[in-house]
Every structure is written in structure tokens, then in C-alpha cells.
């Protein structure tokens, strides 16, 4: 089997940020995770993010006959990886998160159940190949290397985000406003490489002082550096930044910088719902259902309840990363 890319330090950083958010929430004495659960409404319709979802007949007709007859697909995910997939509470096996809600919503559009099960990340593709799962939804990067095995229905794009104090007291509008300022980052992440490999040169080209980058063992430490006044901002993946900003102290502690030139974050890559290449019809059905959710506003509502509208995309593409090559 072709060797596939492992998780990157940037991907692990989201989990660390979720822990940071949790630590700050304990200190603040409040809880702000979304109360909107996916499930059946009183009428029996599937409800996600407070929206009742009806079957999209055109999308459902694209399902392979065996899956339509079975009425469900088995979905591999690797939790916890907030805000994409996580347990509803400590000790619980019940899953929630962006990917889980989105999967249930896609299933509702197709008239079938998306049954999520836990699977270690590095075992997901082998488990798909063994027939243990039909689909994976787990914030997996839609890489060209993985496309040797999988077809991806692209559902989000995420890159580096800038987290600062609520109210944005430094009036940061883009990464160039970080030139000459003290900025925190988790060590050994792609954000370190982005600053040292690209942004510092751009600061110099603009005649500005370099970014004063401080590396910390975790995102939790980087965020504490903001609240203590040691730095003006921290760098982390944009969905992580959005989730931390939304769930910490009722959104009163942090703010994410929204740069219109980089709506999904800097140096963004696509994330995709993966199915085996042989299951092209299933991929097309999922694509049609996802596009239906985008068109009727449910997709944006799901992202919004986790504070990650910034990772949204306008069109449910298939293997979009390959098209961009």
C-alpha cells in the first residue's frame, strides 16, 4: 500500500488548543460549547444545528443500491479532535463536533444514517480498505498522495489563523501587522515554518521589523501569553482559533482576525470526506447532499455553532486539491 502522510503538527495543535480552551473555561467558571445536538425532532425529521433537514430526492437517487437498501453507512472518525470530533462529556462515548453534525446532516439529505465509530487516525484508510467502514469524516487533509487510495468530497479549507485579545486592541488586520510585535506559537508546528520561511522575508521587504516569535510547548501556553500581556497574538490553525475564541469565557477573552484576503486562513488546504476510489457513486451522492446543505444554509449554521465559519467553502468539490495542482 502507498505510504500516506501522517498527521501534521498543525493538526495536533487543534487538540492542544481545545485543551487550552478547556483550561481557560475552568478558570473562568463558565461553559460555552454549543447546546445544539443533532437528532430527531418531535415530527421524526432529523434536526441538526436547530434546523430540520428533509431528504433531497435528487441526491438520494445517486446512492449505490446496496447502501440505499442498507439505510446507513459506517463512518470512521478519530476523536477527540476539537472542534471537528469530540466526546460530549468526559467519559462519554457519544460524539459531537463539526464533522459529526455535518455527517448526520448529509445522511438526512440522503435518507440514510451516518453511523460514526471511533478509529485511530493511522488505521482509518486500512480499515476502509478492509471493508470495516464506508466513509471517513475526520478533518483529513485532501492530499494528492491520499487520492491514490481515496476520493475526497471537499467540505472545508483551513490554514493558519491569528488569535488576539477580544476587541483587537492592536488593530491587527493581517499578518503584516505582526511585524515588529511579539507573537506566540506552539513549537514544531507549521506556523513556525510559515513565519520563518515566508512572513519574516515579507516584513523585511516592507521595511518593517521582524516578528518577535516566541515558541511555547503548547497552544495553552501560547494563549496564556496573550492574556498575560507577553504577546499581542498567537498563531494556530484557524478552526482551532475560532473554537477557542467562541468557547472561552463566553467569547469575551479572544478574537480571531478575519483577513478578507485569506478567509480560510493563511496557506490553507482543503479537508475532505473520504471514500474508496472504487465507490465513486457514493462520493457523488455525498457531494450532492453536501451542496444541498450549502445551498439551504444548514452547512453555515453547523460551522457557526462551533465558531468556525471561516473554514467554509462555497462549493462541494471532488478532489479539489488535485484540480488546483
Please confirm whether the linkage preceding 187 is cis (ω < 30° from 0).
no
Answer yes or no: is 269 within a domain: no
Alpha carbons 323 and 218: distance in angstroms, whole number: 35
Answer yes or no: is 145 within a domain: yes
Is residue 23 within 8 Å of residue 248, measured between CB atoms?
no
DSSP H stretches of helix in the chain:
9-28, 57-60, 65-70, 98-110, 124-129, 190-194, 200-205, 219-227, 238-247, 280-296, 298-305, 320-324
How many structural domains are present in the chain?
2
The per-residue DSSP string of 114-143 comes to EEEEE--GGGHHHHHHTTS-SEEEEEEE--
Could you tell me if 201 and 120 lie in one domain? Answer: no
Could you tell me if 177 and 248 lie in one domain? Answer: yes
Q: What is the pLDDT of residues 251-300, one digit of tens each?
A: 999 999 999 999 999 999 999 999 999 999 999 999 999 999 999 999 99
Confidence grade of residue 15 (pLDDT, cut at 50, 70, 90): very low
Has residue 28 got a pLDDT over 90?
A: no
Question: What is the domain extent for residue 57?
Answer: 9-157+278-324
Instruction: Answer with the one of 256, 287, 302 that is the final residue of a domain.
Output: 256
Could you tell me if 143 and 177 lie in one domain? Answer: no
Could you tell me if 110 and 68 lie in one domain? Answer: yes
Has residue 146 got a pLDDT over 80?
A: yes
The domain that holds 193 is classified in CATH as 3.40.190.10
**For the whole model, what pTM was predicted?**
0.81
Q: What is the pLDDT of residues 80-96, one digit of tens each?
A: 888 999 999 888 889 99
Q: What is the pLDDT of residues 180-203, one digit of tens each?
A: 999 999 999 999 999 999 999 999
Confidence grade of residue 325 (pLDDT, cut at 50, 70, 90): low
pLDDT at 34: 36
Alpha carbons 10 and 204: distance in angstroms, whole number: 26
* First and final C-alpha spacing in the chain: 23
Has residue 49 got a pLDDT over 50?
A: yes
pLDDT at 27: 34
Amino acid at each position: 500500500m502507498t505510504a500516506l502522510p501522517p498527521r501534521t503538527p498543525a493538526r495536533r495543535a487543534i487538540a492542544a488548543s481545545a485543551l487550552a480552551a478547556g483550561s481557560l473555561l475552568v478558570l473562568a467558571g463558565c461553559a460555552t460549547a454549543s447546546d445544539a445536538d443533532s437528532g430527531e425532532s418531535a415530527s421524526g425529521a432529523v434536526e441538526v444545528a436547530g434546523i430540520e433537514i428533509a431528504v433531497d430526492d435528487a441526491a438520494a437517487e445517486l446512492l449505490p443500491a446496496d447502501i440505499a437498501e442498507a439505510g446507513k453507512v459506517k463512518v470512521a472518525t478519530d476523536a477527540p479532535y476539537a472542534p471537528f470530533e469530540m466526546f460530549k462529556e468526559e467519559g462519554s462515548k457519544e460524539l459531537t463536533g463539526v464533522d459529526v453534525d455535518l455527517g448526520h446532516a448529509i445522511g438526512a439529505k440522503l435518507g440514510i444514517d451516518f453511523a460514526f465509530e471511533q478509529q485511530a487516525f493511522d488505521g482509518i484508510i486500512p480499515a476502509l480498505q478492509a471493508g470495516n467502514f464506508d466513509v471517513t469524516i475526520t478533518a483529513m487533509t485532501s492530499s494528492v498522495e491520499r487520492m491514490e487510495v481515496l476520493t475526497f468530497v471537499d467540505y472545508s479549507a483551513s490554514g493558519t489563523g491569528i488569535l488576539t485579545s477580544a476587541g483587537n486592541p492592536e488593530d491587527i488586520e493581517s499578518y503584516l501587522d505582526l511585524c515588529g510585535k511579539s507573537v506566540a506559537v506552539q513549537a514544531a508546528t507549521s506556523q513556525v515554518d510559515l513565519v520563518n520561511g515566508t512572513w519574516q522575508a515579507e516584513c523585511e521587504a516592507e521595511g518593517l521589523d521582524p516578528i518577535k516569535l516566541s515558541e511555547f510547548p503548547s497552544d495553552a501556553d501560547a494563549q496564556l501569553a496573550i492574556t498575560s500581556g507577553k504577546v499581542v497574538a498567537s498563531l494556530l490553525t484557524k478552526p482551532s482559533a475560532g473554537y477557542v475564541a467562541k468557547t472561552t469565557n463566553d467569547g469575551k477573552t479572544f478574537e480571531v482576525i478575519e483577513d478578507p484576503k485569506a478567509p480560510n486562513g493563511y496557506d490553507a488546504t482543503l479537508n475532505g470526506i473520504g471514500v474508496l476510489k472504487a465507490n465513486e457513486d457514493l462520493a457523488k451522492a455525498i457531494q450532492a447532499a453536501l451542496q444541498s446543505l450549502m445551498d439551504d444554509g444548514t452547512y453555515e449554521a453547523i460551522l457557526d455553532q462551533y465558531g468556525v465559519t471561516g473554514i467554509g467553502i462555497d462549493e462541494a468539490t471532488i478532489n479539489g486539491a488535485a484540480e488546483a495542482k
